[in-house]
């Protein structure tokens, strides 16, 4: 189950990165309600989303390693969930961004749970 979760989480991030980079105006409209190209900072953040996706996929292939990546990534996913949820309910983010935030929130909780509880004390952080 955990292997599938991390592979799915990796694919989730990689797909978001690829779609976001290849169809940035449309995806930015879906995610943030702005029909415009990304700024340089947003492009760098999108690349980090893809890099973390690769790291999650590697974590799925090697369950006993890379727990620091899962912990940091899980916490970041929770931050995205909170930010997108607050922005949605204050009218600053469309439904598409809220849905992506929910997906990240669910993954974030499961990633952190795995690292802190399910992996056990003998797990490798790197």
Cα dist. 1→7, 56, 110, 113 in Å? 10, 14, 11, 13
Q: How far is CA 102 from the centre of its chain?
A: 10
Answer whether 74's CB lies under 8 Å from 67's CB.
no
What pLDDT sits at residue 119? 66
What pLDDT sits at residue 124? 64
Answer whether 111's CB lies under 8 Å from 73's CB.
yes
- Helix-then-strand count for the chain, H and E: 5, 0
What pLDDT sits at residue 88? 94
Comparing 90 with 33, which gets the higher pLDDT? Answer: 90
What pLDDT sits at residue 122? 64
Decide: pTM greater than 0.75. yes
What pLDDT sits at residue 77? 94
Q: Express each pLDDT in 8-20 by its tens digit.
A: 999 999 999 999 8
Q: Express each pLDDT in 77-110 by its tens digit.
A: 999 999 999 999 999 889 999 999 999 999 999 9
């Amino acid at each position: 189950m955990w292997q599938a979760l991390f592979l799915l989480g990796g694919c989730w991030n990689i797909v978001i990165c690829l779609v976001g980079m290849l169809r940035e105006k449309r995806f930015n409209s879906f995610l943030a309600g702005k029909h415009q190209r990304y700024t340089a900072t947003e492009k760098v953040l999108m690349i980090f989303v893809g890099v973390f996706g690769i790291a999650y996929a590697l974590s799925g292939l090697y369950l006993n390693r890379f727990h620091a990546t899962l912990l940091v990534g899980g916490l970041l996913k929770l931050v995205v969930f909170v930010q997108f949820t607050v922005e949605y309910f204050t009218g600053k983010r469309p439904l598409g961004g809220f849905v992506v935030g929910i997906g990240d929130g669910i993954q974030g909780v499961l990633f952190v749970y795995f690292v802190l509880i399910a992996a056990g004390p003998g797990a490798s952080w790197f």
